[in-house]
C-alpha cells in the first residue's frame, strides 16, 4: 500500500492546493462588522451586471444566499453553471468540488470563483487519487478488475471524477444515485455474477442507495478502508461483493443518530423524519423520507400546515425552512448545533471581497482544473448528465 501524504491542516491555514482542505485566503477582507457590507455587495453585483452569475448551494449562510441568482443542490447547480455560457464569471457560493465541477462544465473563457479557498469538504478529502489507484490495482489483482465500474459522488475532487471517466464510470449526486447505480450495474452484461460498483467516497450514500433503492442486501456491500492493508478486505470478500464502498462519510450528516429519532418520535406527536442520504444507514432506516436537499425543500413546501418535521441535513437549510414555513413545526434532527464548517466559510466579507475584486478588474480565487483532468472528469460528468431521467428524489 502506498503511503499517502495527507497533511492535517487546520482549515484556512497553510497551503495545500491539491486538497479540498483549507488554504489561506489571499485577500484583504472587509471587516465582518462593516455596516456597509450588504450595500457593498449590492453595488458590486450591480456593477458587474450580466458579467457575473452567482450560484448558491442550499447549505450557504442566509447572508450569502440572498445574493445568489440561483440556489440548488449540487446536481441542479452543475446544470445551472453549464447553462450560462454568456456569464464571464461564475461566483460559486458552495464548496471547492462544486466549483471544480462548474469549471469543467463551463466554457474555456468563463472563470469560476470560490470566494474562500478554504471552503473544501472533509468527505471529498477522504478519497485521494493515489489511494483510489492503489485500490483499483488491488481489485485487478483479486481478479475482479474487469467486473468493477467506478462511481463517484459529486462530493469528490476533480481527479477522482477523472479517474471514473477514464475507467468507464460516472458521477452521481444524492438526487440521481439510484439511476447512476442502475446504469453502472448494466455496464458489464457479460460478466459472470454481474457487475460490481466501486462507490466513492461516501459509504452511506452508496449503501443507502444500493440497499434501499436497488434492493441489494447489506451482505452485498463491503467497505474498503484506504488506511488498512488491502482495504481491510480479503480477496474472497471482494469477489463476493456487489458494492465496494469507500470508507468516507460526511462529517455533518454522520452525526445524526438513530436514538434521537426515537426520542423525537416519543416527544413530538406524528413527527415526520426527513433525512439526507448522507446519513448513516441506521438513521435512514428509521426515517420516513430520504432525499437530496432539493427533495427536502420540495417535501416541506408540499407539506400540510400544522404537520411536524424533524430534518436531518445541514443546519442553515433547516433554519431557513423553519423560517419560511411558520405554519409547520420544523425541528433539527440533532441535539447540538451542526453547521458544515466549510460551507460556512463563504461569508459576507469573502463574498464582498470577491465581487469587488472582480468589479475592479482583478480575478481572485479562480478555480481551474488542469486540461487532462478536465477532459476525463467531463466524460464522467457528461455520463451523469446523460443518465435517463432522474430519480423522483430531486
Ligand atoms: P446535495 O446538495 O446534492 O443534496 O448534497 C449535499 C451536500 O452535502 C453538499 O455538500
Ligand atoms: Fe462536505 Fe458534508 Fe459539508 Fe457537504 S455537508 S460540504 S459533504 S462536509
Contact assessment for residue 198 and residue 223, using Cβ atoms and an 8 Å cutoff? no
| Strand extents, DSSP E, the chain | 52-57, 70-72, 89-93, 111-113, 148-153, 170-172, 196-200, 221-224, 243-246, 272-275, 289-290, 308-312, 329-332
Same domain, yes or no: 235 and 258: no
**Are the C-beta atoms of residues 248 and 153 closer than 8 Å to each other?**
no
- Measure 313 CA to ligand 2 centroid, in angstroms: 10
Question: Exposure string (b/e) for 9-22, b if CB count within 10 Å is 16 or more?
Answer: bebbeeebeebbbb
Whole-model pTM: value is: 0.91
Q: Which of these, 237, 231, 174, 239, lies nearest to 206 by C-alpha position? A: 174
**In whole numbers, what is the pLDDT of the chain averaged over residues?**
91
Degrees (nearest 5) of the Cα angle 97, 10, 252?
A: 55
For 274-311, give one letter per residue: b (16+ CB within 10 A) or e.
Answer: bbbbbbbbebbebbeebbbbbbbbebbeebeeeebbbb
Kindly state if the Cβ of 95 falls inside 6 Å of ligand 2.
yes
- Residue 157's H or E segment, with its range, is none
* Domain-located, residue 24: no
Could you tell me if 131 and 213 lie in one domain? yes
Compute the distance between CA of residue 345 and CA of residue 118 in angstroms, rounded to an integer.
7
Is residue 101 situated within a structural domain? Answer: yes
- Which domain range does residue 323 map to? 253-332
CA 31, 33, 34 angle in degrees (round to 5)?
70
Predicted confidence at residue 2, as pLDDT, reads 45
| Ligand 1 atom having least distance to the Cα of 58 | 2
Q: Give percent of the chain above pLDDT 70.
A: 92
Same domain, 288 and 322: yes
Residue 281 Cα to ligand 2 midpoint, Å, equals 17
* Integer CA distances (angstroms), 223 to 21, 143, 198, 237, 249, in order: 24, 18, 10, 10, 12
- Which ligand number lies closest to the CA of residue 345? 2
Q: Which of 9-23, 47-61, 74-88, 121-135 has the lowest mean pLDDT?
A: 9-23
Q: Give domain status of residue 394, yes or no.
A: no
Residue 288 lies in a domain: yes
Residues 262, 286 within the same domain: yes
Question: Among all chains, which residue has been given the C-alpha cell 425543500?
Answer: 297
Element (H, E) at 351: helix 348-359
Within a domain: 366: yes
- Residues lining ligand 1, CB < 6 A? 73-75, 155, 173-174, 250, 278, 292-293
Question: Can you give the pLDDT at residue 190?
Answer: 87
- Determine if residue 225 is left, alpha or beta; phi over 0 gives left, psi from -120 to 50 gives alpha, anything else beta: beta
Based on the fold, state whether residues 46 and 160 are members of the same structural domain: no
Binding site membership of 210 for ligand 2 (Cβ less than 6 Å): no
Burial of 3 (0-12, 13-18, 19+ CB in 10 A): exposed
Tell me, yes or no, whether 63 and 180 share the same domain.
no
Q: Are residues 134 and 243 in the same domain?
A: yes
Q: Render pLDDT for 207-262 as a digit per residue (tens, 0 to 9).
A: 999 999 999 999 999 999 999 999 999 999 999 999 999 999 999 999 999 999 99
Query: Residue 263: what pLDDT?
Result: 95
What are the pLDDT digits (tens) for 148-158? 999 999 999 99
pLDDT band at 336; cut points 50, 70, 90: confident
At 100, is the pLDDT very low, low, confident or very high (cuts 50, 70, 90)? very high
pLDDT of residue 180 exceeding 60, the answer is yes
Kindly tell me if the per-residue pLDDT of 25 is higher than 80.
no
Tell me how far the alpha carbon of residue 293 lies from the centroid of ligand 2, in angstroms. Answer: 12
Say how many domains are in the chain.
3
pLDDT of residue 390: 53
CATH number, domain of 278, equals 3.40.50.10800
User: With 60 as the cut, is the pLDDT of residue 38 above it?
Assistant: yes
Report if residue 245 sits inside a domain: yes
Domain assignment present for residue 214? The answer is: yes
Asked if pLDDT for residue 26 goes beyond 80, the answer is no
Measured in degrees and rounded to the nearest 5, phi and psi for residue 170 equal: -145, 180
Cα(73) to centroid(ligand 1), Å: 6
The answer to whether the beta carbons of residues 148 and 238 sit under 8 Å apart is: no
pLDDT score recorded for residue 59 = 95
pLDDT at 12 over 70: no
pLDDT of residue 27: 66
Asked if 211 and 96 sit in the same domain, the reply is: no
In a domain, 129, yes or no: yes
Same domain, 259 and 277: yes
Ligand 1 centre and the CA of 210: distance in Å? 18
Q: Are residues 101 and 155 in the same domain?
A: no
Give the pLDDT score at 282: 98
Pairwise CA distance, residues 272 & 217, whole Å: 26
Verify that 270 and 305 share a domain, yes or no: yes
User: Is 54 in the same domain as 151?
Assistant: no
What span, in angstroms and rounded, lies between the C-alpha atoms of 224 and 231? 5
Half-sphere exposure of 1 (CA within 13 A, CB side): 15
**CA–CA gap between residue 384 and residue 98 (Å, rounded):** 15
pLDDT band at residue 74 using 50, 70 and 90 as cut-offs = confident
Confidence bin at 13 (pLDDT 50/70/90): very low
pLDDT at 394 over 80: no
Nearest ligand, CA of residue 344? 2
pLDDT at 28: 79
Amino acid at each position: 500500500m502506498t503511503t499517502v501524504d495527507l497533511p492535517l491542516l487546520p482549515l484556512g491555514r497553510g497551503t495545500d492546493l491539491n486538497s479540498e482542505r483549507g488554504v489561506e485566503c489571499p485577500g484583504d477582507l472587509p471587516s465582518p462588522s462593516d455596516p456597509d457590507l450588504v450595500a457593498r455587495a449590492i453595488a458590486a453585483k450591480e456593477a458587474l451586471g450580466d458579467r457575473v452569475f452567482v450560484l448558491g448551494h442550499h447549505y450557504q449562510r442566509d447572508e450569502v444566499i440572498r445574493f445568489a441568482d440561483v440556489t440548488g443542490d449540487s446536481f441542479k447547480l452543475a446544470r445551472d453553471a453549464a447553462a450560462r455560457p454568456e456569464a464571464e464569471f461564475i461566483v460559486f457560493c458552495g464548496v471547492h468540488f462544486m466549483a471544480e465541477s462548474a469549471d469543467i462544465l463551463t466554457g474555456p473563457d468563463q472563470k469560476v470563483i470560490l470566494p474562500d479557498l478554504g471552503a473544501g469538504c472533509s468527505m471529498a478529502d477522504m478519497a485521494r487519487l493515489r489511494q483510489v489507484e492503489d485500490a483499483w490495482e488491488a481489485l485487478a489483482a483479486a481478479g475482479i478488475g474487469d467486473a468493477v465500474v467506478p462511481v463517484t459522488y459529486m462530493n469528490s475532487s476533480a481527479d477522482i471524477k477523472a479517474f471514473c471517466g477514464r475507467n468507464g464510470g460516472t458521477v452521481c449526486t444524492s438526487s440521481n444515485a439510484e439511476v447512476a447505480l442502475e446504469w453502472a450495474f448494466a455496464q458489464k452484461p457479460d460478466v459472470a455474477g454481474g457487475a460490481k460498483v466501486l462507490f466513492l467516497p461516501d459509504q452511506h450514500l452508496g449503501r443507502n442507495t444500493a440497499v434501499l433503492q436497488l434492493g441489494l442486501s447489506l451482505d452485498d456491500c463491503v467497505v474498503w478502508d484506504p488506511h488498512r492493508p488491502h482495504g481491510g478486505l480479503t480477496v474472497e470478500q471482494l469477489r463476493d461483493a456487489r458494492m465496494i464502498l469507500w470508507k468516507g462519510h460526511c462529517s455533518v450528516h454522520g452525526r445524526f443518530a438513530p436514538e434521537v429519532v426515537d426520542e423525537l418520535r416519543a416527544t413530538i406527536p406524528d413527527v415526520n423524519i426527513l433525512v439526507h442520504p448522507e446519513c448513516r444507514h441506521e438513521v435512514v432506516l428509521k426515517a420516513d423520507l430520504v432525499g437530496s436537499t432539493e427533495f427536502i425543500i420540495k417535501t416541506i413546501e408540499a407539506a400540510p400546515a400544522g404537520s411536524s418535521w424533524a430534518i436531518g441535513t445541514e443546519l442553515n437549510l433547516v433554519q431557513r425552512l423553519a423560517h419560511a414555513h411558520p405554519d409547520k413545526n420544523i425541528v433539527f434532527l440533532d441535539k447540538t448545533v451542526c453547521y458544515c464548517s466549510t460551507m460556512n466559510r463563504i461569508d459576507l466579507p469573502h463574498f464582498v471581497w470577491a465581487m469587488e475584486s472582480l468589479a475592479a478588474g482583478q480575478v481572485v480565487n479562480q478555480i481551474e482544473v488542469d486540461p487532462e483532468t478536465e477532459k476525463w472528469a467531463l466524460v464522467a460528468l457528461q455520463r451523469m448528465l446523460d443518465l435517463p431521467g432522474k430519480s423522483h428524489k430531486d
